[in-house]
Amino acid sequence: MYSFYTPYHLCHFEVPLSVARAVLFQDTVMTPLAGPRVDVVTTAKIDLRAGETLDGIGYYMSYGQCEKADLSQADNLLPMGLAEGCRLKQDVLKDQVLTYEDVELPQARLCDKLRAEQNAFFAPTKATAAVG
């Protein structure tokens, strides 16, 4: 899924041109926004049962849906990239979005530590929460 539309997309041409722009003209090809804007959250493809272990991206048990990052954080939704290997604590119905409360994370995964670090780094401060 792409979040932008171009009538063509030829990566093998675009990457070298982007590198050339950056080197020759000190031009930014893309500039990141201040923090995450969208998350891809885990959604049940089928009715899931407590005790099952989730398979990976593109398999049979779940699919990803885009959700606003602030809503994903507020509702504690499970990112699709972290779903593989999680064990279900309770039944989840087809097309229901999974939360961290629905699963047990595998122990000591680097991806979970990095996600927690990202969440802490981009957590809204009291000042930005009052303005936003």
- Chunked into runs of 10 residues, the chain (132 residues) has average pLDDT values of 59 82 86 87 98 95 96 96 97 98 97 95 68 50
Phi, psi of 89 (to 5 degrees): -85, -25
Amino acid at the residue 41: V
Q: What is the pLDDT of residue 9?
A: 64
Q: Tell me how far apart the alpha carbons of residues 27 and 130 are, in angstroms, rounded to a whole number.
A: 35
Q: 38-123 has which fold?
A: Type Iii Antifreeze Protein Isoform Hplc 12 (3.90.1210)
Where are the chain's structural domains? 38-123
What is the per-residue pLDDT for 97?
A: 98
Strands 62-68 and 38-44: antiparallel
CB within 8 Å of 96: residues ≥ 6 apart: 43, 44
CA distance 88 to 44: 11
What are the start-end ranges of the E strands in 22-81?
38-44, 62-68
Instruction: Name the strand (E) or helix (H) holding 104.
Output: strand 103-104
Helices (H), the chain: 11-25, 69-74, 110-121, 126-131
- H-only helix segments in 38-109: 69-74
This prediction's pTM: 0.73
User: What pLDDT was estimated at residue 123?
Assistant: 85
What integer pLDDT is reported at residue 32 of this predicted model?
75
